[in-house]
Amino acid sequence: MSKYKAVIGLEMHCELKSNSKVFSSAKNAYSDIPNSYVSPVDLGFPGILPTVNKESVREALMMALAFNCETPEYMYFDRKNYYYPDLPKGYQITQMHSPVGVNGKIVINLGDSEKEVLIHDIHLEEDTASLDHYSDATLINYNRAGVPLLELVTEPCLNSPEEAVAFLEYVRRCYQYCDVSDADTKMGQIRCDVNVSIMADGDSHLGTKVEIKNVNSFSNVYDTIAYEIARQTKLKDEGRYDEVEQETRRFDEETGTTIRMRSKVDAIDYKYFVEPNIPKYKISKDWLEEIKKSIPMLPRERKLKYINDYGLSLYDANIIIKDKDYANYFEECIQLGMDPKTVANYLTVQIIAYLNKEDITLKDFYLKPEYLKQIITEVNNGNISSKQAKEIFNKSLEEKKEPKTFITKDNAQISDAGELTKIITDILANNQEQIDAYHNGKSNLFDYFVGQVMKETRGKANPNIVKEILNDKLK
């Protein structure tokens, strides 16, 4: 057991979806052609004036409300001044004095337990351009300059790399559920600054923190934190207290270590001031109410509903809420009147296995809820066996034809008791010898009779009904 406790605070940046950029009319999209979606506003030409994208403000407010934050009465922005090649204006428009959300909280899942993570603030800002480094040159692509960016800052209340990653995954999912971002780390849509300190058992104040800038994947966040905890622990164990310094570092993927960039005493003074080109404006109560109403049910609430109302296991519920598309598919099935547990079973086993095998998403999955319903209904009515259901499931996907096209009279299961009684009576009439042996104690001959019925019906007899009738007849 380590005698230190790790303390972690995250600054999570997420690019928001919208048609145009947050302060200009240039397109907010990816392009293979660098510098194709750029307006003079994004480049900071003299005389330009920013205009606020209402959609970005709506999305930012939506997430602030979803994460239980207090929202401000007035919306305005600040200028953060610094020079860097990816920042053509020489300043970033952001929110420092009055973020869209403060004092929020998010409850996340940690295995079987839950944890409340406190949110310091959420603010709306613009992304920078992206830099492509080559051995002898660096190229600048301004397509990303001015893309709306939502920054969420937690309180220092996470205590392990596992907790940090669980938090990031949960928040990413919330962005996807609310449809404000694809939140795709592979596309660089999510980037984090990770703050790590350690404190000795019994310490009453937080230790000196190190900030690791711009970590671009969740597995790197994990490795960064694990490395920093080990590094700081070693320094303290060796008594080198003054070497645990407030500094900015970066994560080096190749070595899995963090590398010092600068000390906090050399910190840049951003000379923040209120952005003078964007008038302060009031957020109307009606609009806020409208946004609040439009927040869809978040993954944690859905999980609780699936368990409490639909009787799913925590395990199944967790699989289904992992992906917004799974959850929506599941709920559509319930709305069509299907049994939740049966649907959960199909979804978590057969459907997900198929999606993985074919490397597709539910959007491209042929068996829409109403088609799955055709299969489940036939099983419930006793017209097809579960084995046949599986075959029809596969056939329907293979040939891209509705399941009902494969449910013909020819392969339908025989569940009609009258019809089966007739078949069984005929078979028994021709097997007097076996009946006698059965009554004399050869009880395993029961399966022989079932087998005869199956043979006669080419496997289509409903086995449960066959057994019932046989039991009755052989009394």
Minimal distance, residue 285 CB to ligand ADP, in Å? 30
According to CB under 6 A, which one of 154, 189, 258, 462 is a site residue for ligand ADP? 154
196 CB neighbour count, 10 Å cutoff? 28
261 binds ligand ADP (CB under 6 A): no
The stretch among 54-62, 72-80, 149-157, 358-366 that binds ligand ADP (CB under 6 A) is 149-157
According to CB under 6 A, which one of 18, 189, 195, 413 is a site residue for ligand ADP? 195
236 binds ligand ADP (CB under 6 A): no
Question: Of 246 and 294, which CB lies nearer to ligand ADP in the complex structure?
Answer: 246
- Please identify the residue of the shown chain whose CB is closest to the bound ligand ADP: 9
96 binds ligand ADP (CB under 6 A): no
156 binds ligand ADP (CB under 6 A): yes
At 88, give phi and psi (nearest 5°).
Answer: -60, -30
62 binds ligand ADP (CB under 6 A): no
Question: Of 194 and 372, which CB lies nearer to ligand ADP in the complex structure?
Answer: 194
99 binds ligand ADP (CB under 6 A): no
Which residues are within 8 A (CB) of 258 and not within 5 positions of it... i.e. 6 or more apart? 210, 212, 224, 227, 228, 231, 249, 250, 251, 252
Of 235, 190, 185, 238, nearest to 210 by C-alpha is 235
153 binds ligand ADP (CB under 6 A): yes
The stretch among 150-158, 291-299, 318-326, 407-415 that binds ligand ADP (CB under 6 A) is 150-158
21 binds ligand ADP (CB under 6 A): no
According to CB under 6 A, which one of 4, 8, 37, 298 is a site residue for ligand ADP? 8
Minimal distance, residue 241 CB to ligand ADP, in Å? 15
Site for ligand ADP in 196-225 (CB under 6 A): 196-197, 206-207, 209
Minimal distance, residue 205 CB to ligand ADP, in Å? 9
253 binds ligand ADP (CB under 6 A): no
**What is the chain's alpha carbon radius of gyration, rounded to the nearest angstrom?**
31
**Contacts to ligand ADP by CB under 6 A:** 7-11, 153-156, 195-197, 206-207, 209
